Structure 1
Amino acid sequence: MRTSRLLALAVRHQFLEWAGTWWFTASLVVNYAIGPLIGLVVWSAALPGDAGVVRYFVALVAVHLLTASFEDYTFAESVYDGTIGHQLLKPQPVVVGPAGANLAIRLWLSLFGLPLTVVVALVTGASYRWQAVLLAFPSLVLAAVLRFLWTWLLALAAFWTERVHAIVAFGNILVFLLGGIAAPLGELPGSWRTVAALLPCHAMLGLPAGIAAGTLSGSGTAVALQAGWCVVLTAAAVVLWRSGVRRYTAVGA
């Protein structure tokens, strides 16, 4: 309960702090929307008349915005400038700060990005069954958690290297290629489709978008796998965090 209150305070603080940078938020929305929009144009041309593809990529715009993570900046930079030391002294889990910033940024992206998604849906004629959208909600929540864990796990490399931005960028490329932006899961070659379905990348983006669009079957098993990846990445992040903090304190930083 106490951690929840601290997280709510962190979200409120970060939300107000971002209130003065609406122009930067707008640029982030454009940056995160452009990939799915390009995919929409390309795959609509490749598969003309396929309404499922249109619904999928429009839903992907919203999913990409609602799961965006920036821990290579909100967390890794605190390691580089030494402010992580102050966070370690506070009587609260250090993850509260990055998680609060993550949620606050997503709120701003939602305020700017969801209207854009609605406009794109109206322009393209994409329509959704409300039952499918409701079914996609648990998967969307897990995708948001999973993408935060993925980015934070990569950002923890800041304890060992100054090239964390390159590491996170590589992770984002994997998500782009296998997560459903470059191509819907069903359009990948057989072997790649199997690999992508098992890896966490597709669970971060393509899975909730596909469920909302009604283009994925057997979503119950996929969501269970998604939850499993959340457990795996949480355990990995805990191990890497403890190792990183030991290294950080050992060198007297």
Structure 2
Amino acid sequence: MTARLARLLGLRVRNQFLDWASSWTFAATLAVNYAIGPLIGLVVWTAVLPGDRNTVNYFVALVGVYLVTASFEDYTFSEAVYDGRISHDLLKPQPVIIGPAGENIAIRLWLGLFGLPLTIVVAIVAGASYRPSALLLAVPALLGAAIVRFLWTWLLALTAFWTERVHAIVAFSHILAYLLGGTAAPIADLPEPWRWIALALPFYAMLGLPADIATGAPVGAGYLLLLGWGSLFAGLAAVVWRRGIRRYSVVGA
């Protein structure tokens, strides 16, 4: 069963990746757009803390984190609910989440294709440097952050079964992630009690945590934080999906 799901997911990723090949200019623009937030943070905080290499390393790493964890389920999945295309997915002999997950991975591959050279250029210009051991420790955190952010965005996208304002909901979550996820300011530099509030919310796990680990910060309970939020969002998404699809079926009838 697991092998079958993996094959279906791989097939979906391949198909979506090829579909995006005709829109590669849009993918390139999207990669640049997603890098703007961390780049602004880099400029601002290097001016505030000149000569602080950890700040440079952090925001350069954050550029890569943004590109690898980007999620657009409010556009992909929610629009399928609004225009009825989800009905076709429900008839397929596979979990519906295969579609959103496959498209998510394909988009991230395109963002990485254009974003990796951009990140390298920024690192060279800014003079960022990392210990190989820290980068290795950051890889599992980065994968975990990508999963958590996908599950979070998909959970919000599931509200499309009840409201047509999913885009506004997700946009508001992006604002919170920017302010409390480590982009507007590194979490360690936030004043109390905002630092503890930010650490208690999931946005830091999605963004700032992998960047912190890449700079050599102690892993601490970071992996447990990712596991906890990932498990919670997966469970909530399963509950919301069941209730949402029942409502969709009744209204569609």
Instruction: Give TM-score, length-normalised by structure 1.
Output: 0.98
Alpha-carbon distance in structure 2 between the residues aligned to 1:124 and 1:169: 30
For structure 1, the residue ranges without an aligned partner over 5 or more in a row are: none
Q: Which residue of 1 aligns with 2:181?
A: 179
Alpha-carbon distance in structure 1 between the residues aligned to 2:86 and 2:48: 48
1:162-220 deviation per Cα after TM superposition (whole angstroms, max 9, x unaligned):
11100110111111111111110111112111111121100001000010012x32x23
Q: Which residue of 2 aligns with 1:42?
A: 44
- Map residues 17-32 of structure 1 onto 2, 5 A cutoff: 17-32=19-34
Following superposition, the deviation at residue 148 of structure 1 comes to 0.1
Alpha-carbon distance in structure 2 between the residues aligned to 1:26 and 1:50: 31
Alpha-carbon distance in structure 2 between the residues aligned to 1:65 and 1:251: 37
Alpha-carbon distance in structure 1 between the residues aligned to 2:222 and 2:17: 33
Amino acid at match of 1:110: G
Alpha-carbon distance in structure 2 between the residues aligned to 1:108 and 1:220: 32
Alignment length, in residue pairs?
251
Q: Which residue of 1 aligns with 2:221?
A: 221
- Map residues 66-105 of structure 1 onto 2, 5 A cutoff: 66-105=68-107
Residue 126 (structure 1) aligned with residue 128 (structure 2): yes
Alpha-carbon distance in structure 2 between the residues aligned to 1:252 and 1:202: 39
1:49-87 deviation per Cα after TM superposition (whole angstroms, max 9, x unaligned):
100000000000000000000001110000000010110
Amino acid at match of 1:154: L
Q: Which residue of 1 aligns with 2:238?
A: 238
Identity rate of aligned residues, in percent? 66
Following superposition, the deviation at residue 35 of structure 1 comes to 0.3
Alpha-carbon distance in structure 2 between the residues aligned to 1:252 and 1:47: 57
Residue 250 (structure 1) aligned with residue 250 (structure 2): yes
* Corresponding residue SS for 1:151: helix
* Corresponding residue SS for 1:75: helix
Select which of 148, 158, 161 maps to 1:159.
161
* Corresponding residue SS for 2:193: helix
Q: Which residue of 2 aligns with 1:5?
A: 7
For structure 2, the residue ranges without an aligned partner over 5 or more in a row are: none
Amino acid at match of 1:247: R
Amino acid at match of 2:116: L
Following superposition, the deviation at residue 30 of structure 1 comes to 1.2
Following superposition, the deviation at residue 228 of structure 1 comes to 0.6
User: Any runs of at least 4 consecutive aligned residues in structure 1 with deviations exceeding 3 A, and if so which?
Assistant: none
Alpha-carbon distance in structure 1 between the residues aligned to 2:159 and 2:20: 26
Amino acid at match of 2:113: L
Alpha-carbon distance in structure 1 between the residues aligned to 2:190 and 2:156: 26
Q: Which residue of 2 aligns with 1:145?
A: 147
Following superposition, the deviation at residue 151 of structure 1 comes to 0.4
* Corresponding residue SS for 1:127: coil
Following superposition, the deviation at residue 252 of structure 1 comes to 1.9
* Corresponding residue SS for 1:190: coil
Alpha-carbon distance in structure 1 between the residues aligned to 2:193 and 2:139: 28
